[in-house]
Structure 1
């Protein structure tokens, strides 16, 4: 007989480092027992040593269907939560991007989300439902130059989330997506190691700061909670508002900053 956990079981992919590790820690704090999946066994072991019995580490390659199916079958019960966080970046201009880089980004990011989502959803449906949170990116909402296969794979996750929500919603499974913005964690560590790049980037964010892994984890656990019980098929950008700033840098005459009846009278 397995031990009961307050919030049931959760599966977090890409749990060994960065945002995935922070999500795992918060899920444990919220009462989940977490099946932490990653290809980095050493990182998983370190995480499990810190979290104890609440974290069960398993080396899983999300792009390998056999690996995924075996890991899902090994779960002692159906998870209440799945966080499809595993991802990989392969940047570069499309004209020179190696096809191998394109394939691995799509295989890990998009195909991995599909394979894990399908396998876990089947168990959730058998048990009466659950919540899935997929991890996209603001790159999947607004294209960025030289982002290689990353943008396309993350945009695919946004639409895959909608597809999953439509098909699995009637079976009791809610599916949503989180799209992190300029987050000072995980794969972005190398970007923000340059102080000037960091300063320039955070100056473009309306909130005036970079996001944290904790900001992303909070959004994920909110979408998993009963407070988000009527939310499904949505993509939540955790970005400090940066995806809404397209017009902020556009030139604009001051004369149009007051437009309306009073302004029209003043111009007469």
Structure 2
């Protein structure tokens, strides 16, 4: 158990809300940030006095600076979870939709990460966990700016790690796979689509928000003290299963076939 502070962005719903809940269970005091005041206040009310809600726009440098300045101490953990999806084919995607996704997902991660890291460095260190996606490891059609923005987070994580690790701030990244939470709720609401998606995952199930929260809290813990600059796919093996979906004759599956 810990009595340290954690900042979780995008904490008003979905995976972010579950990360905030699990961090409180681990003993953190959580600063829950979201642009949706009603949503983040509801999360905080459910979690009690250990969770303090704030309305923060991660794309606005002044909003971020004010929220960081309001923290009573330097946080031990930052989870850069805030994100949006603006899906659509690239040929017809509006530039405004592209910019919105890049601003929240990538620029937001940069602005919050930089501001919080400065306080962590002053205090002697901390851990940052950025949220990418398996869409940032492999492209998907009609994903709009989501794929590019999440791929940018992977490289930004490495950049942050090499600059800030010498000052005691470890930075890592999680790439969730097919998670039955948050932005995927609408996709998984179709039973047949959900069945097909589950069938593609080597473990045979969709992931949960708790799976992601568990990975976040591991990376924040002393057990991960020598891990920095890494992206961990929490995806049941799907990002490594491309060859498993290819047709293959049974005749080649025996040892010693001539």
TM-score per shorter chain, which class? over 0.9
Match of 1:57 in 2: 53
Moved more, 41-50 or 171-180: 41-50
The whole-number CA distance in structure 1 between the counterparts of 2:50 and 2:250 is: 58
Match of 1:140 in 2: 136
CA contact (8 A) 1:202 1:209 kept: yes
The whole-number CA distance in structure 2 between the counterparts of 1:137 and 1:212 is: 14
Moved more, 225-234 or 46-55: 46-55
TM-score (norm: length of structure 1):
0.94
Offset of 1:128 from its aligned partner? 0.1
The whole-number CA distance in structure 1 between the counterparts of 2:235 and 2:183 is: 16
Offset of 1:255 from its aligned partner? 3.2
1:41-190 alignment, distance < 5 Å: 41-190=37-186
Structure 2, unaligned runs of 5 or more: none
Match of 1:34 in 2: 30
CA contact (8 A) 1:7 1:80 kept: no
Match of 1:212 in 2: 208
TM-score (norm: length of structure 2):
0.98
CA contact (8 A) 1:10 1:34 kept: yes
Match of 2:14 in 1: 18
Q: Which runs of 4+ in 1 moved over 6 A?
A: none
1:4-15 alignment, distance < 5 Å: 6-15=2-11
The higher radius of gyration belongs to: 1
The whole-number CA distance in structure 1 between the counterparts of 2:250 and 2:179 is: 34
Offset of 1:100 from its aligned partner? 0.3
Give the 3-state SS of the residue equivalent to 1:247 in structure 2.
helix
Offset of 1:256 from its aligned partner? 2.6
Indicate yes or no: 2:253 matched with 1:257: yes
- The count of residues paired between Structure 1 and Structure 2 equals 258
Structure 1, unaligned runs of 5 or more: none
CA contact (8 A) 1:102 1:148 kept: yes
Match of 1:238 in 2: 234
Measured on the aligned residues, the alpha-carbon RMSD in Å equals 1.0
